Amino acid sequence: MTATDRGATTHGRAPLAAGLGRALDEYLAHLGIERGLSEHTVAAYRRDLTRYAGFLGERGRTALEDVVEDDVTAYVEAVRGGDDGGQALAASSAGRAVVAIRGWHRFAVLEGRAVDDPTSHVRPPATAKRLPTALSTDDAERLLEAASVGEGPVPLRDRALLEFLYGTGARISEAVGLAVDDVDLAREAAAVRLFGKGRRERLVPVGRYAVEALDAYLVRARPELARSGRGNAVLFLNTRGNPLSRQSAWAVLRAAAERAGLQGHVSPHTLRHSFATHLLAGGADVRVVQELLGHASVTTTQIYTQVTAQTMREVYAAAHPRARG
């Protein structure tokens, strides 16, 4: 059923203008047939663009070629506050709507239905940056202790895995892809060779606690796990002697977090965030942390400085007698 057949309305408005309705039907058909998008995705585009087309109709626009940049920016402002009669949209949802609108107008230009694209200079609303979540040092210690509960090789492996993630800031994909030969546990200069995004190699020091946990795992646990497999060279193995998967590593962390009684979402990336945040809080230079994390740009790493600055503000507000009004 097309937008024209339905006599599409948005939030009690009159049906779409015929020109806009036909243009919308053509674009949705293009998305579904030529670009092969799913019915669910096309339905989402239909909702966003029907609302937009209804707004255009109220501004007297009857075809896409009549639309100007001011119409688009006015619509974005209207949906952010619900001023068009619909539900107010969060910045992320309004941004999705802008993407849909931009695609429709570009399609109209390419198909010769319009001369200009009024969305070319319209930017989606800025979304608030979410600061990475980091564990406190006490919570990190509780988590690591909870990983080694029980007997046998698995608790030794789990403790080694989490100590390694927290002690090196490695991504979970980097950790489960490690070979035994990638880790040098020499007491005075223990280090691991990690391969990040784009196979970018970096050498990261391994701290004493991680060294001890890895050494215990390699001596007392890994040989037993490896007996079930076929001589795999990967460092972290599952109970069948095969490489530990990312999903299994996630399960290790979730189980330890539950045993430790930690509240909220704890992921492997939480340990990476905690690694960076605790280093910076301890006085590490941001460029050193950048190298340890394997970030191509220091700008990516600087978000962690916001975390430590926020912590300092909270401590100041709670502790200083002149901080409270």
| Active site residue ranges | 171, 197, 269, 272, 295, 304
* Whole-angstrom distance, CA of residue 225 vs CA of residue 233: 12
- Are 51 and 84 in contact by the 8 Å Cβ rule? The answer is yes
* Whole-angstrom distance, CA of residue 98 vs CA of residue 247: 35
Residue 186: alpha-carbon gap to chain centroid: 35
* Whole-angstrom distance, CA of residue 122 vs CA of residue 124: 7
| Buried b or exposed e, range 101-134, using 16+ CB within 10 angstroms | bbbbbebbbeeebbeebbbeebebbeeeeeebeb
* Whole-angstrom distance, CA of residue 262 vs CA of residue 274: 14
SS3 117: coil
Encoding tokens for residue 211?
């060294």
* Whole-angstrom distance, CA of residue 217 vs CA of residue 240: 16
The residue type found at 83 is D
* Whole-angstrom distance, CA of residue 189 vs CA of residue 205: 7
Q: To which residue do tokens 């910076």 refer?
A: 280
Q: To which residue do tokens 């280093």 refer?
A: 279
